[in-house]
Amino acid sequence: MPAEWEPQEAIWLQWPGEWEKTYEEAFAAFSCIIIQYEKLHVLYQSPQVLHQARAALLSAGCNPDHDFITWHDIPNDSAWMRDNGPVFVEEGREIRVQNWQ
């Protein structure tokens, strides 16, 4: 598994859902900073959450259609991607996503 200080291609996050609305402003603020430097992959749990996320980014002063943002419609129940998000591993010169099933 690559160390956290090694070069990375992107940051992945899950946008806060309905019961985590208080986090949305912070997510928008740091998302706007991230896309100045590297790619950002954002998971959202419903079309409504996607709409709210896009509006939050606009309110924070950045473009939700920025070339460095990729939106992913993937069911989730929390903004805590650490608990259920992908773990990337190195296999030789290849990067793979670990499947814990």
Pairing of strands 88-91, 94-97: antiparallel
Task: Return the ∠ at Cα 11 (arms to 8 and 15), rounded to 5°.
Answer: 170
Residue 81 has pLDDT above 70, yes or no: yes
Q: What is the mean pLDDT of residues 63-82?
A: 91
- Residue 101: what pLDDT? 65
The Cα 89–Cα 36 span in angstroms is 26
3-state secondary structure of 67: coil
Spatial separation of the C-alpha atoms in residues 65 and 25, rounded to whole Å: 18
Question: pLDDT by residue (tens digit) across 15-54?
Answer: 998 778 889 999 999 999 999 999 999 999 999 999 999 9
Residue 73 in tokens = 């419609």
